[in-house]
A = this chain, B = another copy of it.
Amino acid sequence: MSLDILGLSVVETAGRNTFIITKIRRVLISLRTKYQRVDIVEFEEFGRGLILDGLIQSTEADEFIYHESLVHPALTTHPNPKEVLIIGGGEGATLREVLKHNTVKSAVMVDIDGELVELAKKYLDFMHKGSFYDPRTKLIISDGAEFIKKEGSSKYDVVVLDLTDPYGPEIARKLYSREFYEEVRRVLRDDGIMVTQAGSSFFYPRVYDYVLNNVKSVFSIVREYWVWVPAFAYACNFIIASNKYDPTLLTPEEVDSRLRSRSVKTLLYNGKYHKALFMTPILRNKFSKD
C-alpha cells in the first residue's frame, strides 16, 4: 500500500466532520463563471473530472454509476417517455443517458450556467458524448426555478433534477422546496415521473427528510434508493415520485425488455440492478449533527 499524496488535490467533505483529499494530476481549466467556480482536472485515480465551487461533481472513473442510477429508473418506469425535462446536469451526462431511450422525442435541458456547458463541450466529451448536438436536445440557459414557473402545464413525461446538494450552494436550495415540486407536478403529465438526487441521507438525515417530505406532500407514490459514488466517498440518495407509476412493481424482466426495445446500452443498470436499488434500506446516521 504505497501512498502518494503530495501535490495538488481537492478537499471535500462528507458530513460535518469527515474530510476527503483526492489527488489531482493536472488542471485543464480553472476559472470562475458568472455563477460558480469551475475546475476541470485530471485526477490521479479517477480520470478527468468536473469540480464546481470546490466540490467534485463527476469523474471519468465513476460517473456512469451516478448518471445511470439517476436517469434509468425513472425513464424505464415510464412506459413511453417522449418529452423529458432535465434541470441542471451541465456536464451533459444526464442528457446522454436520457437520449439513450429511443422513445424520447425531445429532451429539454435547463442549466443556469452557459459558460459551464461550453466548458463541458470542450473538455468533457466523454461525459456528453455529443448529446448537446443531438437534434432531440433543446438546451436552455436559465434558472431552473424561473424556467419552470413560465413553462406550460402537462408538457413532460419525465423530469430529472440533477442539482448540487440540498445542503450545498445556496443557488440550488429552492429546487428542493415544496413549492418547486408543485411546479414540477404541474409541468408533468398526469402519469409523469420525477426523480431527483437528494444528497446523503446518512450524513444529512434531517435535510434528506426535509426533501423527502416535500416530495411526499406533492406526489402519492414516492420511492427512495441510493448508490455509492466512489469519488464522493459516500453514497448518494435519489427520490423518485409519480402519481401513477411505481418503480418497485416492475420485474427485472420487464426492465430488461424495455431497455432492449428502446435500444438502451448501459454499463451497470439492468433489470436486476433496478430491483436491487429498491430492496436496500435507507441509511440515516444517528450520530449526525446536521
Contact = CB atoms under 8 A, between A and B. Distances in A.
A122 interface: no
A16 B43 contact: no
A113 interface: no
Interface stretch (A60-68, A127-135, A155-163): A60-68
A206 interface: no
A18 B45 contact: yes
A2 B268 CA distance: 35
Contacts of A94: none
Q: Is the interface of A mostly helix, strand, loop or mixed?
A: mixed
Nearest to A231: B18
A5 B7 contact: no
A279 B281 contact: no
A3 B22 contact: no
A8 B54 contact: yes
A100 interface: no
Contact of A11 (B2, B9, B46, B65): B9
Q: How large is the interface on A (under 10, 10 to 19, 20 to 34, 35 or more residues)?
A: 35 or more
A280 B269 CA distance: 9
A5 B19 contact: yes
A4 to B, nearest CB: 5
A267 to B, nearest CB: 8
Contact of A61 (B16, B280, B287): B287
A12 interface: yes
A26 B168 CA distance: 20
Contacts of A279: 252, 272-273, 275-276, 279
25 contacts: A3-B5, A3-B13, A3-B17, A5-B11, A5-B19, A6-B11, A7-B10, A7-B54, A8-B9, A8-B11, A8-B27, A8-B30, A9-B10, A9-B21, A18-B21, A19-B20, A26-B31, A27-B27, A44-B287, A45-B285, A202-B230, A233-B233, A272-B279, A276-B277, A279-B279
Task: In the A-B complex, list the 4 residue pairs whose CB atoms are closest, starting with the nearest.
Answer: A7-B54, A27-B30, A17-B23, A276-B279
Given A45-B203, A228-B228, 13 more contacts: A5-B11, A9-B9, A9-B11, A19-B20, A20-B233, A43-B287, A45-B289, A65-B283, A233-B233, A252-B279, A275-B275, A276-B276, A279-B279
